């Protein structure tokens, strides 16, 4: 494991611990953000993982964004959800079964535009990369 990967894993572990200890609330840079814990299964390894992500409430679930802070590649969790779309998320103090799908067309554009409006750093992420940042809809199962 690279030093960068270890650093990200340690950072995520601290956020997950704080999230669970504080009824789904996290301080610091996430204090005013909606945050969920995405459970996902490794596409190649089958390893179960948990990743904290910003989300947007939708009528039938949630949207998450494979921004990877504007990197030129999608995050691993994105590939894991495409391979294994049935999963669960922790939101607040509850756990919800969901099924992931990649939003396309007008739906993707509408959700993405709202996310950039509500959280301008997502517009910054978009400006850093030439890829179209995937929007993943997590529909309640």
Higher pLDDT, 135 or 29: 135
User: Distances in Å between the alpha carbon of 74 and those of 129, 134, 136?
Assistant: 11, 8, 12
For the chain, what is the mean pLDDT? 93
pLDDT at 3 exceeding the cut of 60:
no
Give the pLDDT confidence of 72-102 residue by residue, as tens digits: 999 999 999 999 999 999 999 999 999 999 9
List strand residue ranges (DSSP E) for 1-141, in order.
35-41, 48-54, 56-58, 61-65, 86-91, 94-102, 135-140
Q: How many residues in total does the chain contain?
A: 141
List the single range of 7-21, 61-75, 91-105, 117-131 with lowest mean pLDDT.
Answer: 7-21
Instruction: State pTM to two decimals.
Output: 0.91
């Amino acid at each position: 494991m690279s030093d960068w990967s270890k650093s990200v894993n340690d950072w995520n572990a601290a956020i997950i611990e704080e999230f669970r200890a504080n009824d789904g609330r996290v301080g610091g840079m996430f204090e005013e953000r909606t945050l969920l814990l995405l459970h996902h299964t490794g596409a190649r390894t089958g390893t179960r993982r948990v990743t904290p992500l910003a989300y947007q409430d939708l009528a039938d679930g949630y949207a998450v964004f494979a921004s990877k802070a504007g990197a030129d590649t999608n995050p691993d969790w994105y590939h894991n959800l495409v391979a294994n779309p049935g999963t669960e998320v922790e939101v607040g103090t509850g756990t919800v079964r969901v099924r992931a799908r990649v939003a396309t067309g007008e739906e993707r554009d509408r959700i993405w535009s709202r996310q950039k409006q509500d959280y301008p750093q997502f517009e910054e992420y978009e400006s850093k990369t030439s890829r179209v940042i995937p929007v993943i809809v997590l529909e309640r199962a």
